[in-house]
Chains A and B, each alone.
Chain A
C-alpha cells in the first residue's frame, strides 16, 4: 500500500532496521483543587505566599492533631468526575501512604488506595479516539522542599494538605501529540468546571508519564516512568526522547541496555532523561485504611446535585457554536479556549443578537487588544468593560452609526478608558455622516480633476468609483457613510457630468 493513500499508520519506523515500533503511553495527572481551604484543615492556600504562613497544627502534623475532610473538595472532585464521565463510588475511604520525606510532615500522605472515589470515564480526542481513565482519587499535597540554599534544605509547608485529584489513564495513547492533546483537553475541562487552575508553572498541575515501545504485532514491553515534567511541551519532548531511547536500546541487541522498569527524571535543558530509582528501590508504602477518617457513603442526591452544577463543557460548546451560530471550527475553538471567554462571547451574542459579528469582534478585536503589551488587561477576566458594551459597539456598526474601521478605534478607546462606545463616539465626533448636503460637497471636491475615473464610470465600469472613496473618507475623517458616498458619486457622474 502506498503511504499516500492509506490513513497515517501508527508507530515509528526505525531507519536502521525498518521495524515499526508501537509506543504505549499512559499519563498520571495531579491537579490541585481550587478550594477555599485545604483538604483536612481550615488553612487557606495561595501560591507564592511567605513560607510556612498558611499552616496550622493539622497541616504541620503537630502531635494530637487530626484531619477532617473538606466537603467542598469532595464536591469539586465529584463535579470533575461528572465532567469526565466517570462513575462515583457509593462508598469510599481514605488510606495512609507511608514514607519519610522532609516535605511530608505526618510521615504519611492521606490518599486513596483500593477504593478511589471514582473509576472510569475519559477524554475524547479530536480524532475521535477515546483516552480512558482507570480511576480518579483524592489526596493531599505535600509541602515543598527547597534544596538550593547552600548545604541547607528548607521546608515550606504552605502547600501541605492542599487537595489534589490524581487521574490515571489507561495506556491508550501512542504518540506524544496524543498525550499533549489529552493534557490540553483535560486542563480545559478542569478549568471549565472551576475545579483547578491547571497552571503547571505554579504546580497546580503535575504530570507523570508511562512509556513503553514494542514491535508492531508483538506484546507490550517494560514500561518506564518519567517525572519532572514542568510544561506540556516538556511532556511531549520527554515522550519523544524516551521513545527514541527505548527503540535504540532494543535495537542495540545488547540485553544489558534494554529498558528496565524504573523511574527516570527529565532534564529540560539537555532534553534527556536519567534514572531516578529502579524497581528494586521502589517504596513499600504500607498502605492501610486511615483510622482518623471513617469510610463514608456518597449520597446519590449529593452526586446528582454536583453533576447538575456542571457547565456546558468545551467540546459541546465548540460543536454548538458551529451548528447553532454557523461559526468556523477555528473560531469556535478560539472562543472556547477558556470558560471565561466563551461565557463572555455568549453574553455578547445574547445582548447583540448577532453571533457572527460577536465572534468577529471577540476573536479578532478583543483578543488582539488583550495580547497588546500596551493594554493593561491581559485576560478576559480583566476587561475594563462588559459584554453589554461590546454588544452596543456591534449594534453601532450594524446600524451604520459608525463605520467598521471607526469601530476598531472605539474598541481601543474602550480598552483604554473603559468608557461606553456611545460615549466615545460622541466625545470624538465619530458618528457616521449621512447628511446628503455634506456628503455631496465632499464628493464634488473628490471629483475635481478625476476625468479618467469619470470616463470609466460613464463607459459602464461603475467599479472605478472605488478610487474616489479614499479621498472622500479622508476628507470626512472616516465618518462618511461609504454606501451613501458611492450612491452620490455615481449619481453626480451619471446625471451631471
Chain B
C-alpha cells in the first residue's frame, strides 16, 4: 500500500496531529486511505462512490496551505466518509435507492461544511439501507456492506457502509444517521464507537429525511476522543433547521473519571431475547465501570415493550409524507406510466422504491388515514410520551443508563431478510432512546465467538437530554481502561 504506512493504526486526532506536525502530509494520508479502499472495498462494499481525484486535489491544497503557514483546522487532512443520505453539492446522494439514482444535490449540508471547514477530506459516499430503512444494509438497491469481522455477516444498518468504512479502517471517522438505532447498532456489531446525540444537537438540514422527529446525524469513530472532537465540530445551532437547538457546539468534559456516577441498569434490557454471551460481556463491562468508581442502581423502564410498535407507527407516518416528494417530476429517474400525471407518479414510485420502503410507506399512510389516525398515530404519540417519562423518572435517581446496544452480535446476511419483524426487533434496545430523543453511545466492550469468528459486542450508555458530553466522557473513561477499541478485525490478508 502506498501513502502513510501508519494510517490504519491512528485515529482522527492522531492523524491530524501527525499531519500538522509534518510527520506526514494530507496527501500521504489520503493516498493511504484511497489505497486501502481500492484494495479491500471490493470485498466489503462500504463505498458507493469514491471521490479519488477530488480528495487528492483537496489534500494537495491543504498541504500547500500548511506549507504557507496558514491556520489549520482541527481535522486538517483527515479523510472521512458520508452516508449516502447526506447532501454534498454535486456528489451523488442516492439514499441507497433507485429513485434517486444519479441525484446530485445543489447544496452542501451545513454539518458537512463544518467538517470541511476544519480541514477534513471527503473520500466517498457509503452504502446504506434504502432511505435508512433497515438494520442490516440488505435493503440497499445497490449493495449490502459486509462486516469486516466476518464477511458473511452484516455490519448492521442502516448506516452499514459508513460503519464498515470505519471498522475496516478505510477512514478514521464517518457520518451515519440514527433514526431508531442505525448508528449505534452497527457500531456495536462492528466494534467501533457510534453516537446518537440529543435530538436537535446537530442540524438535520441536508440529511435526507426518513422520520423527521427521530432522525439525527450520528458519527462513527474508532475512539471516544475522536467522537468528542467530531461532535464539537458538527453540533450547534443552525438557522436552516427549526428543530436544531440554539446551543453552542458540544464541549467535551475535562474529567477523566466516572467516580461517583450512578449508573441505572434497566431490567427490561436484560430480559429474554438477550443473547447469553452478549449479556456476559455487557455485565462485565458494567463491572468494569463499577471498578472505576461508578455505582449501579437497578431501574425500571416499564414501557420498553411498546417501543418497537410505537416507533413503527411514528417513523412510518413521517416517512410516508417525507418520501412523497419522490415523484419523478423534479429529479430522479422518471417512468411515464400510462401518460397521466397520477400514472407517471405511480409508475415512478413503483419502479423506484424497494419492498421495505413500500411496506413502510403503506404502513405510514394507513396510520395517518382518516378513521385510523386517532387509534394509531395519536396513540403512538401518547406512548412515546410515556417512554420519555420512563427515562425522565429514571434520571431523577441515576446519572446514566447502561445496557446492551444490540441483543445479539452480528447476524448473517440473509438470516433475517425474509422476516421483517425479526429484523425490526434487532433495534429493540436502541429505539426507546430514539423515541425519547436522548443521547446514547455504543462503545466496544468485548467479544463473543460464533462459528470460529470473534464478533464484537457494544455497551450502550444513555444520558438525560443534553447530557451528551457526560455520555461521551463515560465512554472515554471506559475505553481507556479497556483494550477492546484497539482490537481489529482479521480480514484475510488485511489485518493491521
Q: Which of A61, A68, A286 has the most CB of B within 10 A?
A: A286
Q: Which residues of A, 53-76, contact B by the 8 Å Cβ criterion?
A: 57, 60-69
Q: How far is the CB of A158 from chain B (nearest CB, A)?
A: 14
A69 touches B341 (CB 8 A): no
Given contacts A100-B342, A288-B317, A292-B242, contact A63 B330 (CB under 8 A): no
- Confirm or deny: A98 has a beta carbon within 8 angstroms of a beta carbon on chain B: yes
Q: Which residues of B contact A284 (CB under 8 A)?
A: 369-370
Q: How far is the CB of B316 from chain A (nearest CB, A)?
A: 12
B318 touches A63 (CB 8 A): no
- Confirm or deny: A105 has a beta carbon within 8 angstroms of a beta carbon on chain B: yes
B243 touches A107 (CB 8 A): no
Q: Which residues of B contact A325 (CB under 8 A)?
A: none
Q: Which residues of B contact A57 (CB under 8 A)?
A: 105-107
Q: Which residues of B contact A108 (CB under 8 A)?
A: 321, 324
Give the number of residues in A that approach B within 8 Å (Cβ atoms): 30
Q: How far is the CB of A62 from chain B (nearest CB, A)?
A: 6
- 1/0 per residue, CB under 8 A from B, across A23-67: the answer is 000000000000000000000000000000000010011111111
In the complex the two chains form, what is the Cα distance from A286 to B377 in whole Å? 11
- Confirm or deny: B209 has a beta carbon within 8 angstroms of a beta carbon on chain A: yes
- 1/0 per residue, CB under 8 A from A, across B262-298: the answer is 0000000000000000000000000000000000000
Q: Which residues of A contact B103 (CB under 8 A)?
A: 63
- Confirm or deny: A135 has a beta carbon within 8 angstroms of a beta carbon on chain B: no
In the complex the two chains form, what is the Cα distance from A291 to B200 in whole Å? 12
- 1/0 per residue, CB under 8 A from A, across B315-334: the answer is 00110110111010111000
A107 touches B240 (CB 8 A): no
- 1/0 per residue, CB under 8 A from A, across B434-452: the answer is 0000000000000000000
In the complex the two chains form, what is the Cα distance from A286 to B330 in whole Å? 23
Given contacts A288-B317, A288-B368, contact A64 B325 (CB under 8 A): no
Q: Which residues of B contact A105 (CB under 8 A)?
A: 325, 329-330
Given contacts A292-B242, A294-B243, contact A64 B87 (CB under 8 A): yes
Given contacts A62-B107, A63-B95, A100-B342, contact A68 B239 (CB under 8 A): yes
B325 touches A106 (CB 8 A): yes
B205 touches A293 (CB 8 A): no
Given contacts A64-B86, A288-B368, contact A155 B321 (CB under 8 A): no
- Confirm or deny: B218 has a beta carbon within 8 angstroms of a beta carbon on chain A: no
Given contacts A100-B345, A105-B330, A291-B318, contact A66 B325 (CB under 8 A): no
- Confirm or deny: B365 has a beta carbon within 8 angstroms of a beta carbon on chain A: yes
Dominant secondary structure of chain B at its interface with chain A: loop
A107 touches B327 (CB 8 A): yes
In the complex the two chains form, what is the Cα distance from A324 to B209 in whole Å? 61
Contact partner, A286, options B105, B240, B331, B368, Cβ 8 Å: B368
A69 nearest CB neighbor, chain B only? B242
- Confirm or deny: A220 has a beta carbon within 8 angstroms of a beta carbon on chain B: no
- Confirm or deny: A102 has a beta carbon within 8 angstroms of a beta carbon on chain B: yes
Contact partner, A106, options B205, B317, B324, Cβ 8 Å: B324
In the complex the two chains form, what is the Cα distance from A68 to B330 in whole Å? 22
In the complex the two chains form, what is the Cα distance from A102 to B209 in whole Å? 20
Contact partner, B321, options A60, A64, A68, A96, Cβ 8 Å: A96
Q: Which of B207, B318, B325, B345 has the most CB of A within 10 A?
A: B325
B208 touches A291 (CB 8 A): no
In the complex the two chains form, what is the Cα distance from A98 to B365 in whole Å? 10
B243 touches A153 (CB 8 A): no
- Confirm or deny: A101 has a beta carbon within 8 angstroms of a beta carbon on chain B: yes
A292 touches B370 (CB 8 A): no
A67 touches B242 (CB 8 A): yes
Q: How far is the CB of B353 from chain A (nearest CB, A)?
A: 13
A40 nearest CB neighbor, chain B only? B242
- Confirm or deny: B100 has a beta carbon within 8 angstroms of a beta carbon on chain A: yes
B242 touches A294 (CB 8 A): yes
B209 touches A155 (CB 8 A): no
A101 touches B321 (CB 8 A): no
Contact partner, A64, options B205, B323, B327, Cβ 8 Å: B205
Given contacts A100-B327, A291-B213, contact A63 B107 (CB under 8 A): no
- Confirm or deny: B109 has a beta carbon within 8 angstroms of a beta carbon on chain A: yes
Q: How far is the CB of A100 from chain B (nearest CB, A)?
A: 5
B345 touches A68 (CB 8 A): no
B242 touches A64 (CB 8 A): no
- Confirm or deny: B256 has a beta carbon within 8 angstroms of a beta carbon on chain A: no
In the complex the two chains form, what is the Cα distance from A105 to B329 in whole Å? 8
A68 touches B341 (CB 8 A): no
Given contacts A108-B324, A288-B377, contact A63 B243 (CB under 8 A): no
Given contacts A284-B370, A292-B243, contact A64 B109 (CB under 8 A): yes
In the complex the two chains form, what is the Cα distance from A229 to B329 in whole Å? 28
Given contacts A66-B241, A68-B239, A292-B243, contact A60 B330 (CB under 8 A): yes
B321 touches A63 (CB 8 A): no
Contact partner, A66, options B240, B318, B342, Cβ 8 Å: B240
B318 nearest CB neighbor, chain A only? A291
In the complex the two chains form, what is the Cα distance from A153 to B340 in whole Å? 10
In the complex the two chains form, what is the Cα distance from A61 to B321 in whole Å? 12
A100 touches B324 (CB 8 A): yes
Given contacts A100-B345, A284-B370, contact A65 B205 (CB under 8 A): yes
- 1/0 per residue, CB under 8 A from A, across B196-215: the answer is 00000000111111001100
In the complex the two chains form, what is the Cα distance from A67 to B408 in whole Å? 39
A63 nearest CB neighbor, chain B only? B208
- 1/0 per residue, CB under 8 A from B, across A282-308: the answer is 001011100111100000000000000
B377 touches A291 (CB 8 A): no
- Confirm or deny: B27 has a beta carbon within 8 angstroms of a beta carbon on chain A: no
B370 nearest CB neighbor, chain A only? A284
Q: Which residues of A contact B242 (CB under 8 A)?
A: 66-69, 292-294
Q: How far is the CB of A64 from chain B (nearest CB, A)?
A: 5
Q: How far is the CB of B448 from chain A (nearest CB, A)?
A: 38
B93 nearest CB neighbor, chain A only? A63
B86 touches A155 (CB 8 A): no
Q: Which residues of B contact A62 (CB under 8 A)?
A: 87, 105-107, 331
Q: Which residues of B contact A292 (CB under 8 A)?
A: 209, 212, 241-243
In the complex the two chains form, what is the Cα distance from A198 to B262 in whole Å? 63
Q: Which of A66, A101, A292 has the most CB of B within 10 A?
A: A66
- Confirm or deny: B373 has a beta carbon within 8 angstroms of a beta carbon on chain A: yes
Q: Which of A68, A288, A293 has the most CB of B within 10 A?
A: A288
- 1/0 per residue, CB under 8 A from A, across B354-379: the answer is 00000000000100111001000100
B241 touches A64 (CB 8 A): no
B364 nearest CB neighbor, chain A only? A286
Q: Which residues of B contact A107 (CB under 8 A)?
A: 321, 323-325, 327
A98 nearest CB neighbor, chain B only? B321
Q: Which residues of B contact A98 (CB under 8 A)?
A: 320-321, 324, 368
Q: How far is the CB of B14 from chain A (nearest CB, A)?
A: 32
Q: Which residues of B contact A60 (CB under 8 A)?
A: 330
Beyond contacts A62-B105, A68-B242, A286-B369: 11 other A-B pairs, Cβ-Cβ < 8 A, are A63-B87, A63-B100, A65-B206, A66-B240, A101-B341, A108-B321, A286-B321, A287-B368, A288-B373, A292-B209, A292-B242
Residues of B bordering A, CB below 8 Å: 85-87, 93, 95, 100, 103, 105-107, 109, 204-209, 212-213, 239-243, 317-318, 320-321, 323-325, 327, 329-331, 341-342, 345, 365, 368-370, 373, 377
In the A-B complex, the 10 residue pairs with the smallest Cβ-Cβ separation, listed nearest first, are: A107-B324, A291-B212, A286-B368, A291-B213, A63-B208, A61-B325, A64-B206, A64-B87, A64-B208, A107-B325
